[in-house]
Structure 1
């Protein structure tokens, strides 16, 4: 594997180096007409493995676009530096450099939830803490304005990031010394761009790496598998410039909320339903779960509810049909266990807005409530699960009957547990899932409504 081109200068810093970043933001940058001016320095998250693997390949990696009919292979060169996320000094140096214009984030929803629920202070061990320290270095260097772009699945993710960053910058430890006035500087010099991102990117397997070696003639330990579909909608300003991402299909809008909701509810919401009900019913991948009539019916029911609260201009029926095709691509082994992580965070964004809207309209919101009940059924049967509130979940699972339901609902949002009617509704839906036939693999070929 090699590239004769001169590496682009670092002008983008990314926090959260993983497969999705490589298949999405880095891929879009590679396909920009001015890509030669926009190199990316990508910092890993919890572990250094991804950075070490990519650094050993000089940042080069293969994107495998996998459709139902075959694969295409592309060598991407936009990541010019891969760095261990623990290297705070290098992060500060790069963010403080006047040439750096953009910081992008894929730190998962749980990183923001950790700040919200635990009030984490200005610590270099957290992604947002490292970002604030790096922005402090930029202020100290007099490097000027910069854009921060959240690419995580959060409604209004730019403003969520802004709120968290400003609060951390104003933390008591930052009221004196080199951090005095930092929050005010960030407020005046850092733009926070909201985005909606969409490209299914499952974990790469050993067999995937062997396929790349056979097809391309080189070993690539950092290859990523993704679908041909890709979508990126952005809203906000870039005071120091940005790549021509629109060349690869990115869309820039004034009002991003409808696009965010369409993606969070229809794609991510369906993923959660398939993950929790599918895992409970013995399936391993999205395609398998979609072929199960019980899981598919739950998705359609939730989509019907969500569609009532989305503008018709977004062509919801076409979007649903496209999702069914994407989810049904059995050549993309999107594992449900990966999607099932961090449920207490994801349910707040995927199920609750639709549930609240339906109940406000005088309807029960069974589709949204069923997502929560499926999560509970999954937790009750799972040997292992990952969640920022795992210890509290285990304590709740030690309870029985209605007490267990109430305790789990409180972890999603405390107010839910105080709603007796909702507790009864979710308990009944969970019981219905538990008693559904476990061998039902009917194709459920009804077209998306």
Structure 2
């Protein structure tokens, strides 16, 4: 049997299910309705409606693929969320998604939903590359044509013309200052394509910064088969995650919103310390485990962190290299945070694939590694754990050891072929390189990376 609203009553009693009326307006439109959103923002919103709030159903938008629509729409947009730990798994049914649309064929419907007075919030998990930035951070207009910018711009113009209030636009992606970046990029689009909308957007729409954290591995066929045996029906949209979840949001909204803070979210005046710790410690360590772990022959995060050499590097990166660059916020204990992260990495029930984390590295290593390197370099220090990670990443993007899923895969491969192992570090990270940053590799650091590349190759 395929999960649907008609057979929800047949779920085992242990599976919690929504008790609210799902036939209510969509107060949220979400761009990028992948597994992370379904395990995070959609779950918080489901909890809000389960506690009696109304008007917060979610219209999910897939930007390119119809795969999520194919998973959820035949199931009346219902899906299960399973929390896995070393002990028993706990499953609940999520009902907060009202419909799943695809940006191309369903463009008019998406604009209609965003322009509706019922909608107050638009959220985004489109990954770093979904913001269509050039290497200098500005908007890449040809790429943005196929992104959310034109859709959102058209909807905002309709809201303005109809006298409807602005929207709160919440970037839930791993970008430093994600709200500020979204605002800057959106304004670039508006100023170029709809300049008469600029002042209204500035006065009526907000883009809060935020930090999100929950490990959500891609669901495998084995996961779905095991769940089917346990709950007695097939859920093609099932999501599996860890018990830990965190959502820190800047208190800057244009209008109504769900009371996410009643269900664990934190509404704060400054997200920066939390965001920076996550990017440099958790995400930085994840990337190190991904590229080094794959080179060590591991498949999953829990296998890589059990490797004594990699475990030592991860602890060094978090506590000696990243943590000293972070100005901790009120009540933020970075040493305890590092210990908590290692414990989360060790969870054997998640099966978080290193290859999943390794995707799109060219869009990630700047915030995860290069900012730390630049700060430490300004203080006359270096970061051997991160430099080791860079060697493994360069080995990865050479294209010689495994398939590379990265928007710059072809150009990085070409740089490798032209510069060779002896010149690739400066060709990538030096002046004019695609990842040029405030960190300029010193001779000593280049030699360190070269030595490790030689050992790897």
> So what's the TM-score if we normalise by structure 1?
0.90
**Who is 2:227 aligned against?**
212
Distance (whole Å) between structure 1 residues aligned to residue 378 and residue 262 of structure 2 = 42
Aligned to 2:116: 97
Q: Say which of 135, 138, 148 aligns to 2:156.
A: 135
Mean Cα deviation higher: 239-248 or 73-82:
239-248
Offset, 1:206: 0.7
Give how far 1:434 is off: 5.5
Q: Is the 8 A contact 2:288 2:386 kept in 1?
A: no
Question: Aligned runs of 1:27-46 on 2, under 5 Å?
Answer: 27-32=43-48, 33-46=51-64
Provide the aligned length of Structure 1 versus Structure 2. Answer: 429
Query: In structure 1, what is the equivalent of residue 408 of structure 2?
Result: 389
- Give the conservation status (yes or no) of the 8 Å contact 1:345–1:412: no
Q: Determine if the alignment matches structure 1 residue 163 to structure 2 residue 184.
A: yes
Pick one of 398, 411, 414 that aligns with 2:436.
414
Hey, what's the Cα distance between the residues in 2 that align with 1:241 and 1:416?
40
Q: Which residue of 2 aligns with 1:248?
A: 263
Deviation at 1:420, TM superposition (A): 5.8
Partner of 1:446: none
Secondary structure at 1:83 match in 2: strand
**In structure 2, C-alpha distance between the alignment counterparts of 1:235 and 1:220, rounded to whole Å:** 35
Is this contact kept in 1: 2:285–2:314, CA < 8 A?
Answer: yes
Does residue 331 of structure 2 align to residue 310 of structure 1?
no
* DSSP-derived class of the 1:191 partner: coil
User: Does the C-alpha gap of structure 1 residues 122 and 346 become closer, same or farther in structure 2, counting only changes over 3 Å?
Assistant: closer
Answer whether contact 1:104 1:148 (CA < 8 A) is retained.
Answer: yes
Report the Cα offset of residue 133 of structure 1.
2.8
Taking structure 1 as reference, are residues 362 and 45 closer, same or farther at Cα in structure 2, changes over 3 Å only?
Answer: same
Query: How far did 1:355 drift?
Result: 0.6
Query: Structure 2: how far apart are the matches of 1:111 and 1:292?
Result: 34
Q: 1:327–1:133: structure 2 CA closer, same or farther, 3 Å change rule? A: same
Q: Distance in 1 between matches of 2:434 and 2:211?
A: 23
Separation in structure 1 between the aligned mates of residue 113 and residue 277 of structure 2, nearest angstrom: 35
Is the contact made by 2:64 and 2:102 (CA closer than 8 Å) also made in structure 1?
A: no
| Structure 2 match to 1:405 | 425
Contact 1:123 1:130 in 2 (8 A): no
2:374–2:438 Cα contact (<8 Å) kept: no
Q: Which structure 2 residues correspond to residues 233-244 of structure 1 after superposition, within 5 A?
A: 233-244=248-259
Shift of 1:415: 4.9
**Which residue pairs with 1:293 in the alignment?**
308
1:39 CA displacement: 0.4
2:12 matched residue in structure 1: none
Gaps of 5+ in 2: 9-18
337-346 vs 151-160, greater mean Cα deviation: 337-346
Partner residue of 1:114 out of 133, 140, 146: 133
